[in-house]
C-alpha cells in the first residue's frame, strides 16, 4: 500500500486513498477514473462524460486538449492513441465496475491506477493550443 502511494501524483493519491486504504480496490479504480475525467473536463471546458468527453476533448482535427503540436504523423498517432486508450479505460474498467459487482485484487487495481497516473502526467503536460 505504501508502495503505490509513493508512485502516484499526490493529488491522485489524495483522491483515491480513502477507498484504497480500506482495501476497496474496485472503488479506488473508479475513483482514479473519476479523477482523470474531472481533470479532462477542467482542462477542456467540457461538461460531458465517458466516451463523449474523450472524443470531444482529444478527437477531431482541432481537439480541445492537444498532447503535442499535431504536426507529424507520430504526433497525430500519439494523440489518437491516447484518445483510444482513454475510451478503452472507460469501456474496460469504469463501466463494468459501475454497472455490476466487481472485486479487484490489490495488484490489479495497482496496475490500472498506475497506468491512469501515467495518462494523468501526459494530460498535465498538454495544452489547449500550441
pLDDT digits (tens, 9 = 90+) for 86-128: 999 999 999 999 999 999 999 999 999 999 999 999 999 997 6
- The mean predicted confidence, pLDDT, of the chain is 94
Beta strand residue intervals within the chain, DSSP E? none
Report pLDDT for 2: 61
According to the model, what pLDDT value does residue 35 have?
Answer: 98
Asked if pLDDT for residue 66 goes beyond 50, the answer is yes
Check whether 130 has a pLDDT greater than 50. Answer: no
pLDDT for position 127: 75
Amino acid at each position: 500500500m505504501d508502495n503505490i502511494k509513493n508512485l502516484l501524483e499526490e493529488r491522485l493519491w489524495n483522491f483515491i486513498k480513502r477507498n484504497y486504504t480500506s482495501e476497496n480496490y474496485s472503488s479506488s479504480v473508479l475513483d482514479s477514473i473519476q479523477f482523470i475525467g474531472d481533470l479532462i473536463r477542467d482542462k477542456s471546458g467540457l461538461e460531458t462524460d465517458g466516451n463523449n468527453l474523450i472524443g470531444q476533448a482529444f478527437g477531431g482535427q482541432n481537439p480541445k486538449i492537444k498532447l503535442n503540436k499535431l504536426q507529424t504523423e507520430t504526433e497525430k498517432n500519439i494523440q489518437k492513441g491516447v484518445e483510444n486508450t482513454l475510451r478503452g479505460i472507460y469501456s474496460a474498467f469504469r463501466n463494468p465496475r459501475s454497472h455490476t459487482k466487481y472485486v479487484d485484487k490489490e495488484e490489479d487495481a495497482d496496475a490500472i491506477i498506475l497506468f491512469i497516473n501515467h495518462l494523468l502526467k501526459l494530460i498535465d503536460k498538454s495544452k489547449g493550443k500550441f
